Structure 1
Amino acid sequence: MASVRQFQVTFDCAQPERVARFWCEVLGYVVPPPPPGFADWGEFDRALPPEQQGSAFACVDPTGVGPRLFFQRVPEGKVAKNRLHLDVRVGTGLVGEQRLAALEAECARLLDLGATRVRLLTADGFNESCLVMQDVEGNEFCLD
């Protein structure tokens, strides 16, 4: 039997720290401590060659349960729909108006952080309602 593997989710982006800090707020994640010998991530970043400064950032689940999120700078911008996206579980166990209220409340909070609302997908008898959104660089995700 195969063993379960830990994994991280990696985002290609233009501004790694900005996108990472957005996702910290969305998920309740935190920025991990800097490498040994550095007082903070700014000091670590300044120690890198100029072309590597600001090129990566990460955030982690403070409980140690969820995957690490890693953000890396890439030269090209986003040009197509994501082939993979995160579903942020805010309405688990809720149906109907209660679910919609939970989705809308979280949507309002995330709009204040710089997210964009794309569309509401209403319950269809098979799937419950969810809200499609975009993060601060246009990466799609769902409030589910």
Structure 2
Amino acid sequence: MTHQTGDEGAVMAREVQVTFDAADPASLAAFWADVLGYELQGPPGDFDSWDAALDAMGVPPERRNDASAVVDPKGAGPRLFFQRVPEGKQAKNRVHLDVRAAPGLTGDDRMAALEAEAERLVALGATRLARHEPAPPLGAGHLVLADPEGNEFCLD
């Protein structure tokens, strides 16, 4: 196996993009932007809007919800990309996001913070799936939810 290396022979860090298959990329992107405090990615180049950019690219109106993306406004977190696929979700996710909603909190304070965030996300379209109580020393407690298209994620 070969690795791409930098000047000092170390493996170079890679940027990561998380990609979601979706039936409605624009709606799912808006949901995740609200969950994470992200923003919709702006149009390329000097275009004032996505419609102007897509017009210039010759993308017909019926194809304009084929993809969407959200980005961390501070540039620290990964880009989330949403692509339209014809099939629906079939099984449990093998990879999921952990949304760190109660950093530094423990016990009842932690679970109360997670519950408050779960209420906000359910109002945005999430579905609550499970609550896992704290089980020290390793289990701090978390909630399992699903986004509007059924992709599981944890409030951690």
TM-score bracket for this pair, using the shorter chain length:
over 0.9
1:6 corresponds to 2:15:
yes
Letter in 1 for 2:25: P
Measured in 1, the distance between the counterparts of 2:53 and 2:142 equals 40
Q: Specify the code of the residue in structure 2 equivalent to 1:127.
A: G
Per the alignment, residue 99 of structure 1 pairs with 110
CA RMSD of aligned residues (A): 1.4
> SS of 1:91's equivalent?
coil
The structure with the larger Rg is 2
Partner of 2:39: 30
1:37-89 per-position Cα deviation (integer Å, ceiling 9, x unaligned): 53212333454145632100000000000000000000100010001000000
Gaps of 5+ in 1: none
Superposed CA deviations along residues 85-106 of structure 1, whole A, max 9, x for unmatched, are 0000011111110001100000
Q: Structure 2: any 5+ residue segments left out of the alignment?
A: 1-9
Provide the secondary structure at the position in 1 that maps to 2:21. Answer: strand
Identity of aligned residues (%): 54
1:122 to 133, 136, 139: 133
Larger deviation, residues 43-52 vs 93-102 = 43-52
Match for residue 43 of structure 1 among 52, 56, 61: 52
Runs of 4+ in 1 over 4 A off after TM superposition: none
Which residue of structure 1 aligns with residue 92 of structure 2?
81
